[in-house]
Amino acid sequence: MNNLLLAVLSYLIGFIFLLFIRSYDKYDKEPLWRMLLLSFFGGIVSVLITSFLYAFIHPKLNLADAVFKIGTVEEFSKLLTLFILYKIIRKDFDEIVDGIVYVAAVSLGFSVIENFFYAQHAAFPVPILFKRFLFATVGHISFSVYMGIAFYVHKKIRKNFSGLLLSFVLATLAHGLYDGFLFNENLTIFFLPLYILLIYFQFRLLKVAYAYSKMKENFRYDRFKIENTNLNTLQCCNCKQNDTRLTKFNKTEIYICNNCNHLIISKHFFSRLLKYYRPKLNRKLFFNSLEFEGGHKLLNRDKRLVYHVLEERLNAEFEAFKNWLDNENFRDLKKYHQTFEGQIFYQLGFKYLN
Protein backbone atom coordinates (compact mmCIF):
# COMPACT_ATOMS: atom_id res chain seq x y z
CA MET A 1 0.00 0.00 0.00
CA ASN A 2 1.19 3.50 -0.79
CA ASN A 3 2.82 5.10 2.28
CA LEU A 4 0.85 8.31 1.87
CA LEU A 5 -2.45 6.44 1.77
CA LEU A 6 -1.38 4.40 4.78
CA ALA A 7 -0.50 7.58 6.71
CA VAL A 8 -3.87 9.16 5.83
CA LEU A 9 -5.76 6.04 6.88
CA SER A 10 -3.79 5.88 10.13
CA TYR A 11 -4.55 9.47 11.01
CA LEU A 12 -8.20 9.14 9.93
CA ILE A 13 -8.66 6.33 12.41
CA GLY A 14 -6.96 8.50 15.03
CA PHE A 15 -9.18 11.47 14.19
CA ILE A 16 -12.33 9.38 14.69
CA PHE A 17 -11.09 8.38 18.11
CA LEU A 18 -10.24 12.01 18.89
CA LEU A 19 -13.88 12.91 18.22
CA PHE A 20 -14.91 10.12 20.58
CA ILE A 21 -12.66 11.54 23.31
CA ARG A 22 -14.01 15.04 22.76
CA SER A 23 -17.58 13.79 23.12
CA TYR A 24 -16.85 12.91 26.74
CA ASP A 25 -15.86 16.49 27.55
CA LYS A 26 -19.51 17.26 28.27
CA TYR A 27 -19.19 20.47 30.31
CA ASP A 28 -16.92 22.66 28.18
CA LYS A 29 -15.79 21.06 24.93
CA GLU A 30 -12.29 21.99 23.79
CA PRO A 31 -11.82 23.53 20.30
CA LEU A 32 -11.40 20.66 17.88
CA TRP A 33 -8.72 22.49 15.89
CA ARG A 34 -6.62 22.91 19.06
CA MET A 35 -6.94 19.23 19.91
CA LEU A 36 -5.92 18.33 16.35
CA LEU A 37 -2.96 20.69 16.56
CA LEU A 38 -1.76 19.25 19.85
CA SER A 39 -2.34 15.72 18.59
CA PHE A 40 -0.33 16.37 15.40
CA PHE A 41 2.64 18.15 16.98
CA GLY A 42 2.38 16.13 20.19
CA GLY A 43 2.75 12.93 18.24
CA ILE A 44 5.82 14.22 16.39
CA VAL A 45 7.53 15.63 19.48
CA SER A 46 6.83 12.62 21.70
CA VAL A 47 8.05 10.18 19.03
CA LEU A 48 11.23 12.24 18.52
CA ILE A 49 11.92 12.24 22.27
CA THR A 50 11.23 8.51 22.45
CA SER A 51 13.53 7.78 19.49
CA PHE A 52 16.29 9.85 21.08
CA LEU A 53 16.00 7.98 24.40
CA TYR A 54 15.89 4.59 22.68
CA ALA A 55 19.27 5.41 21.14
CA PHE A 56 20.69 4.94 24.66
CA ILE A 57 18.17 2.50 26.12
CA HIS A 58 17.76 -0.90 24.47
CA PRO A 59 14.83 -2.84 25.96
CA LYS A 60 14.34 -6.57 25.64
CA LEU A 61 10.93 -8.08 25.10
CA ASN A 62 10.25 -9.14 28.69
CA LEU A 63 8.09 -7.94 31.57
CA ALA A 64 10.87 -6.14 33.50
CA ASP A 65 12.07 -4.15 30.50
CA ALA A 66 8.50 -3.43 29.47
CA VAL A 67 7.95 -1.65 32.80
CA PHE A 68 11.36 -0.11 33.54
CA LYS A 69 12.38 0.78 29.99
CA ILE A 70 9.51 0.85 27.48
CA GLY A 71 6.84 2.18 29.82
CA THR A 72 9.24 4.62 31.45
CA VAL A 73 10.59 6.01 28.18
CA GLU A 74 7.29 6.39 26.34
CA GLU A 75 5.28 7.85 29.24
CA PHE A 76 8.11 10.25 30.08
CA SER A 77 8.08 11.35 26.43
CA LYS A 78 4.36 12.12 26.56
CA LEU A 79 4.63 14.05 29.83
CA LEU A 80 7.62 16.06 28.62
CA THR A 81 5.74 16.81 25.39
CA LEU A 82 2.87 18.30 27.41
CA PHE A 83 5.31 20.67 29.09
CA ILE A 84 7.00 21.56 25.79
CA LEU A 85 3.76 22.24 23.89
CA TYR A 86 1.79 23.78 26.76
CA LYS A 87 1.58 27.16 25.00
CA ILE A 88 -0.62 25.59 22.31
CA ILE A 89 -3.36 24.79 24.85
CA ARG A 90 -2.75 27.38 27.59
CA LYS A 91 -5.63 29.64 26.50
CA ASP A 92 -8.22 26.84 26.69
CA PHE A 93 -6.66 24.86 29.54
CA ASP A 94 -9.17 26.04 32.12
CA GLU A 95 -10.68 23.05 33.91
CA ILE A 96 -9.64 19.73 35.42
CA VAL A 97 -11.20 17.59 32.65
CA ASP A 98 -8.95 19.37 30.11
CA GLY A 99 -5.96 17.59 31.62
CA ILE A 100 -7.38 14.24 30.53
CA VAL A 101 -8.53 15.52 27.12
CA TYR A 102 -5.19 17.04 26.13
CA VAL A 103 -2.96 14.25 27.40
CA ALA A 104 -5.26 11.93 25.41
CA ALA A 105 -4.60 14.09 22.32
CA VAL A 106 -0.81 13.74 22.78
CA SER A 107 -1.15 9.99 23.39
CA LEU A 108 -3.30 9.70 20.28
CA GLY A 109 -0.70 11.50 18.15
CA PHE A 110 2.02 9.21 19.50
CA SER A 111 -0.07 6.11 18.84
CA VAL A 112 -1.02 7.18 15.28
CA ILE A 113 2.63 7.52 14.29
CA GLU A 114 3.55 4.28 16.04
CA ASN A 115 0.67 2.49 14.31
CA PHE A 116 1.82 3.81 10.94
CA PHE A 117 5.32 2.38 11.38
CA TYR A 118 3.97 -0.98 12.51
CA ALA A 119 1.59 -1.15 9.54
CA GLN A 120 4.27 0.00 7.11
CA HIS A 121 6.32 -3.13 7.80
CA ALA A 122 3.39 -5.54 7.96
CA ALA A 123 2.33 -7.95 5.22
CA PHE A 124 -1.33 -6.91 5.77
CA PRO A 125 -1.18 -3.26 6.91
CA VAL A 126 -4.90 -2.41 7.08
CA PRO A 127 -5.86 -5.21 9.53
CA ILE A 128 -2.83 -4.23 11.64
CA LEU A 129 -4.00 -0.60 11.72
CA PHE A 130 -7.48 -1.54 12.90
CA LYS A 131 -6.16 -4.02 15.47
CA ARG A 132 -3.76 -1.46 16.90
CA PHE A 133 -6.48 1.19 16.86
CA LEU A 134 -8.66 -1.06 18.98
CA PHE A 135 -5.97 -2.03 21.47
CA ALA A 136 -2.79 0.07 21.25
CA THR A 137 -4.44 3.48 20.69
CA VAL A 138 -7.01 3.01 23.45
CA GLY A 139 -4.24 1.57 25.62
CA HIS A 140 -1.91 4.53 25.13
CA ILE A 141 -4.66 6.93 26.19
CA SER A 142 -5.66 4.88 29.23
CA PHE A 143 -2.00 4.74 30.36
CA SER A 144 -1.61 8.50 30.39
CA VAL A 145 -4.86 9.90 31.84
CA TYR A 146 -3.33 10.04 35.33
CA MET A 147 -0.64 12.43 34.12
CA GLY A 148 -3.28 14.74 32.65
CA ILE A 149 -4.86 15.33 36.07
CA ALA A 150 -1.53 15.93 37.81
CA PHE A 151 -0.37 18.21 34.99
CA TYR A 152 -3.50 20.38 35.18
CA VAL A 153 -3.14 20.86 38.95
CA HIS A 154 0.58 21.62 38.51
CA LYS A 155 -0.08 24.29 35.91
CA LYS A 156 -3.31 25.84 37.18
CA ILE A 157 -3.61 25.28 40.93
CA ARG A 158 -0.22 24.87 42.59
CA LYS A 159 3.09 23.07 42.17
CA ASN A 160 2.30 19.38 42.15
CA PHE A 161 5.59 17.51 41.81
CA SER A 162 4.46 14.64 44.05
CA GLY A 163 1.28 14.23 41.96
CA LEU A 164 3.27 14.32 38.73
CA LEU A 165 5.63 11.65 40.07
CA LEU A 166 2.75 9.43 41.22
CA SER A 167 0.94 9.86 37.90
CA PHE A 168 4.12 8.98 36.01
CA VAL A 169 4.59 5.84 38.10
CA LEU A 170 0.97 4.78 37.49
CA ALA A 171 1.25 5.46 33.75
CA THR A 172 4.56 3.60 33.52
CA LEU A 173 3.23 0.61 35.45
CA ALA A 174 0.06 0.42 33.32
CA HIS A 175 2.05 0.72 30.08
CA GLY A 176 4.67 -1.76 31.21
CA LEU A 177 2.19 -4.41 32.30
CA TYR A 178 0.26 -3.99 29.04
CA ASP A 179 3.38 -4.63 26.93
CA GLY A 180 4.86 -7.17 29.34
CA PHE A 181 1.77 -9.38 29.26
CA LEU A 182 1.97 -9.38 25.45
CA PHE A 183 5.69 -10.24 25.45
CA ASN A 184 5.35 -13.19 27.87
CA GLU A 185 3.44 -16.17 26.49
CA ASN A 186 2.63 -17.33 30.02
CA LEU A 187 0.97 -14.00 30.78
CA THR A 188 -0.97 -13.35 27.56
CA ILE A 189 -4.04 -14.97 29.11
CA PHE A 190 -4.18 -11.97 31.48
CA PHE A 191 -3.85 -9.36 28.73
CA LEU A 192 -7.55 -8.89 27.95
CA PRO A 193 -8.61 -8.59 31.64
CA LEU A 194 -5.80 -6.05 32.15
CA TYR A 195 -6.87 -4.10 29.07
CA ILE A 196 -10.48 -3.93 30.30
CA LEU A 197 -9.29 -2.93 33.79
CA LEU A 198 -7.19 -0.06 32.39
CA ILE A 199 -10.15 1.30 30.44
CA TYR A 200 -12.34 0.89 33.52
CA PHE A 201 -9.99 3.00 35.64
CA GLN A 202 -9.72 5.54 32.83
CA PHE A 203 -13.47 6.19 32.99
CA ARG A 204 -13.46 6.08 36.80
CA LEU A 205 -10.91 8.87 36.82
CA LEU A 206 -12.90 10.79 34.22
CA LYS A 207 -15.99 10.67 36.47
CA VAL A 208 -13.97 12.04 39.39
CA ALA A 209 -12.70 14.86 37.19
CA TYR A 210 -16.28 15.63 36.11
CA ALA A 211 -17.36 15.75 39.75
CA TYR A 212 -14.67 18.38 40.44
CA SER A 213 -15.37 20.38 37.29
CA LYS A 214 -16.37 24.03 37.72
CA MET A 215 -17.82 24.18 34.21
CA LYS A 216 -21.21 22.65 34.97
CA GLU A 217 -24.11 24.81 33.84
CA ASN A 218 -25.52 26.65 36.86
CA PHE A 219 -28.88 25.38 38.02
CA ARG A 220 -30.79 28.68 37.84
CA TYR A 221 -34.39 29.70 37.24
CA ASP A 222 -33.48 32.19 34.53
CA ARG A 223 -32.08 29.33 32.44
CA PHE A 224 -35.37 27.44 32.43
CA LYS A 225 -37.15 27.75 29.09
CA ILE A 226 -40.93 27.61 29.14
CA GLU A 227 -42.25 24.92 26.81
CA ASN A 228 -45.97 25.00 27.53
CA THR A 229 -47.86 27.32 29.88
CA ASN A 230 -51.21 25.54 29.48
CA LEU A 231 -50.22 22.01 30.41
CA ASN A 232 -52.19 21.07 33.54
CA THR A 233 -51.78 17.31 33.65
CA LEU A 234 -49.53 16.83 36.68
CA GLN A 235 -50.56 17.10 40.29
CA CYS A 236 -48.04 18.74 42.59
CA CYS A 237 -47.23 16.38 45.45
CA ASN A 238 -46.60 19.37 47.70
CA CYS A 239 -49.81 21.43 47.39
CA LYS A 240 -51.94 18.80 45.57
CA GLN A 241 -52.89 21.29 42.84
CA ASN A 242 -53.22 20.41 39.15
CA ASP A 243 -51.62 23.56 37.82
CA THR A 244 -48.19 23.17 36.28
CA ARG A 245 -46.10 24.57 33.45
CA LEU A 246 -43.52 22.60 31.51
CA THR A 247 -39.98 24.00 31.21
CA LYS A 248 -36.69 22.70 29.87
CA PHE A 249 -33.26 23.06 31.42
CA ASN A 250 -30.17 21.52 29.86
CA LYS A 251 -32.26 19.02 27.83
CA THR A 252 -34.18 18.10 30.98
CA GLU A 253 -37.95 18.46 31.32
CA ILE A 254 -38.98 20.07 34.59
CA TYR A 255 -42.55 20.90 35.58
CA ILE A 256 -43.11 23.88 37.87
CA CYS A 257 -46.19 24.20 40.04
CA ASN A 258 -47.90 27.55 39.44
CA ASN A 259 -49.39 27.46 42.93
CA CYS A 260 -46.38 26.71 45.22
CA ASN A 261 -43.53 26.99 42.69
CA HIS A 262 -42.17 23.53 43.51
CA LEU A 263 -40.28 21.58 40.87
CA ILE A 264 -41.74 18.28 39.68
CA ILE A 265 -39.20 16.03 37.94
CA SER A 266 -39.78 12.52 36.61
CA LYS A 267 -37.40 9.71 37.54
CA HIS A 268 -35.91 9.71 34.04
CA PHE A 269 -35.01 13.39 34.07
CA PHE A 270 -34.05 13.32 37.74
CA SER A 271 -31.54 10.59 36.83
CA ARG A 272 -30.23 12.76 33.98
CA LEU A 273 -29.65 15.65 36.40
CA LEU A 274 -27.88 13.33 38.82
CA LYS A 275 -25.59 12.13 36.04
CA TYR A 276 -24.72 15.74 35.20
CA TYR A 277 -24.34 17.19 38.70
CA ARG A 278 -23.32 14.08 40.67
CA PRO A 279 -21.26 12.05 38.16
CA LYS A 280 -19.68 9.85 40.85
CA LEU A 281 -23.04 8.65 42.10
CA ASN A 282 -24.16 5.11 41.29
CA ARG A 283 -27.67 6.03 40.19
CA LYS A 284 -29.00 2.47 40.12
CA LEU A 285 -28.04 1.90 43.75
CA PHE A 286 -29.39 5.33 44.64
CA PHE A 287 -32.86 4.64 43.25
CA ASN A 288 -32.90 1.12 44.70
CA SER A 289 -32.21 2.57 48.13
CA LEU A 290 -35.17 4.94 47.72
CA GLU A 291 -37.54 2.14 46.78
CA PHE A 292 -37.00 0.39 50.11
CA GLU A 293 -38.59 3.33 51.91
CA GLY A 294 -42.18 2.68 50.77
CA GLY A 295 -44.35 5.52 49.50
CA HIS A 296 -41.87 8.39 49.59
CA LYS A 297 -38.36 9.32 50.61
CA LEU A 298 -37.26 12.57 52.23
CA LEU A 299 -33.99 13.72 50.69
CA ASN A 300 -33.62 16.52 53.23
CA ARG A 301 -34.91 16.98 56.77
CA ASP A 302 -37.24 19.94 56.24
CA LYS A 303 -39.43 18.13 53.69
CA ARG A 304 -38.55 20.52 50.87
CA LEU A 305 -37.11 17.65 48.83
CA VAL A 306 -39.23 14.52 48.50
CA TYR A 307 -38.95 11.61 46.09
CA HIS A 308 -42.27 9.81 45.56
CA VAL A 309 -41.58 6.18 44.76
CA LEU A 310 -45.00 5.20 43.41
CA GLU A 311 -45.26 8.21 41.10
CA GLU A 312 -41.51 7.93 40.29
CA ARG A 313 -40.93 11.65 40.52
CA LEU A 314 -39.22 14.24 42.64
CA ASN A 315 -41.05 17.15 44.24
CA ALA A 316 -38.62 19.85 45.33
CA GLU A 317 -38.32 23.44 46.40
CA PHE A 318 -35.90 25.07 43.97
CA GLU A 319 -33.17 26.31 46.35
CA ALA A 320 -33.29 23.12 48.39
CA PHE A 321 -32.75 21.02 45.28
CA LYS A 322 -29.92 23.22 44.02
CA ASN A 323 -28.12 23.07 47.38
CA TRP A 324 -28.73 19.34 47.67
CA LEU A 325 -27.07 18.67 44.31
CA ASP A 326 -23.98 20.69 45.29
CA ASN A 327 -23.69 19.26 48.80
CA GLU A 328 -24.27 15.67 47.80
CA ASN A 329 -21.71 15.90 45.01
CA PHE A 330 -19.17 16.98 47.64
CA ARG A 331 -20.21 14.06 49.88
CA ASP A 332 -19.90 11.63 46.95
CA LEU A 333 -16.29 12.73 46.49
CA LYS A 334 -15.50 12.67 50.19
CA LYS A 335 -16.87 9.14 50.51
CA TYR A 336 -14.99 8.02 47.40
CA HIS A 337 -11.66 9.40 48.60
CA GLN A 338 -11.94 7.25 51.72
CA THR A 339 -11.48 4.15 49.54
CA PHE A 340 -8.05 2.82 48.55
CA GLU A 341 -8.59 3.71 44.89
CA GLY A 342 -9.92 7.13 45.86
CA GLN A 343 -6.91 7.84 48.03
CA ILE A 344 -4.53 7.10 45.15
CA PHE A 345 -6.45 9.42 42.81
CA TYR A 346 -6.65 12.02 45.60
CA GLN A 347 -2.85 12.18 45.71
CA LEU A 348 -2.70 12.91 41.97
CA GLY A 349 -3.76 16.45 42.81
CA PHE A 350 -7.44 16.38 43.68
CA LYS A 351 -6.44 17.14 47.27
CA TYR A 352 -5.60 20.69 46.15
CA LEU A 353 -9.07 21.32 44.68
CA ASN A 354 -11.93 22.85 46.65
Of 180, 212, 244, the position where a domain reaches its end is 212
Q: pLDDT tens-digit profile of 182-204?
A: 898 888 899 999 999 998 999 89
Please answer whether residues 316 and 265 qualify as being in contact, where contact means their C-beta atoms are separated by less than 8 angstroms.
Answer: yes
Same domain, yes or no: 175 and 256: no
Segments forming the whole domain that contains residue 180 = 3-212
Same domain, yes or no: 136 and 240: no
Q: pLDDT tens-digit profile of 213-264?
A: 988 888 888 888 887 655 556 778 778 878 888 888 888 999 988 888 899 9
- The pLDDT assigned to 78 comes to 96
- Note whether residue 346 is domain-resident: no
Distance, in Å, from the CA atom of 267 to the CA atom of 331, rounded to the nearest integer, reads 22
- Note whether residue 347 is domain-resident: no
Same domain, yes or no: 187 and 261: no
**What letter represents residue 350's amino acid?**
F
Compute φ and ψ for 288, nearest 5 degrees: -65, -40
pTM of the entire structure?
0.87
Residue 228 forms beta bridges with which residues?
246
Residue 256 forms beta bridges with which residues?
245, 263
- Mean pLDDT, residues 276-304 taken together: 78
Same domain, yes or no: 31 and 116: yes
Residue 296 forms beta bridges with which residues?
308
pLDDT band at 175 (very low <50, low <70, confident <90, very high): very high
- Note whether residue 263 is domain-resident: yes
Distance, in Å, from the CA atom of 22 to the CA atom of 218, rounded to the nearest integer, reads 22
* Tally of domains in the chain: 2
Residue 306: which H helix or E strand, with range?
A: strand 305-308
Please answer whether residues 299 and 246 qualify as being in contact, where contact means their C-beta atoms are separated by less than 8 angstroms.
Answer: no
